[in-house]
Amino acid sequence: MIVLGDWEGFRADSVPSVRSSPNGWAVGVVMDHSPIDDLAGAFLWFPKDWELQEILKAMDQSDRLTEKILGRGWIKGPRPYVKLHHIITGGF
């Protein structure tokens, strides 16, 4: 978990999914409210390069863990996960 600022963690032990999907892992970004959000009318984030790199690493790990749970890759969605062994075995 990457924590920026003084965030102390979630209030709930778990949060149910809002979309139907098979079991898997996900990556979420928790953002603190700031005064600029009120001015813009939306939550704004000005990420540093290292923050984006950490999120990409977390997404890669999420994909690997989800592949282990599912036992296969996938071709649908915004971030397909297909490896050579998936193509050879038809596992997606």
pLDDT computed for residue 3 by the predictor: 61
Q: Is pLDDT at 67 greater than 80 in this prediction?
A: yes
Average pLDDT over residues 71-88: 81
Q: Which residues contact 25 (CB under 8 A, 6 or more apart)?
A: 61, 62, 65, 66, 69
pLDDT computed for residue 5 by the predictor: 63
- CB-side neighbour CA atoms (13 Å) of 83: 9
- Per-residue pLDDT of 16-64, as tens digits, reads 777 766 667 777 777 777 888 999 998 888 888 998 998 899 889 988 8
